Structure 1
């Protein structure tokens, strides 16, 4: 009796999975098509921005040939948007803000923790315990060293 119920359950499961496979395949294809369409739309918008930047660059430097290392190598030479109309000039960008990044204290803590963990795992016979202790000590020493560097940089900046 158990074998009959098990076989019947297996057959029902296989038929249930098989009947939805065409619906699932259609849904997957639809999702793929929508993804490709959205990527294409993003590429068109990106190209319009590149074209408008090129238009501004060329109109600002008529007659002058300036090669800038920051220039995009993938920028298209034409200045026409995807719908064959001249690309509109974007609004002027706000003044760039200084990117802060990691402080020397944070960098020192991370590097110290990594170095301490490796050293502790090598030195201590119990590798996990040694790595944990080494990471804690290394993070403390690295953070302290980074804090000293941060303090000296702030002093130097205040003097200037």
Structure 2
């Protein structure tokens, strides 16, 4: 039995080294698949950014039949002066919620992990991105909820 295992291992090593031309083609194919998966991740990130921007535009321009909320001071009285509003809005990724940030980071990490783990790189990257987006968004939502709770106290 020991000789059979040794002979099998030697045969596998010799056969794997013999196909060097096929290995180069496989390496090039893997590189192309990795680049494709990174492009898909960037496309997903852009979609998330576009949807967040669309939500921000909707928040800035509420419908005509909706009344904008009047800010409430810390003492519980309503204020209408513009001085009580925040001075400057954050721009860029700093203005994203933790849910959105978690979704983007999760999609990237999931796509890379899926591409590494699965033999079919593109399929693995797609599945990993979907799962990573869900997990990241869920984690970010938990963080958002805890921060909102902390602000209310």
TM-score by length of 1: 0.39
Greater helix content: 2
Structure index of larger Rg: 1
Q: Which has the higher contact order (CA 8 A, sep 6+)?
A: 2
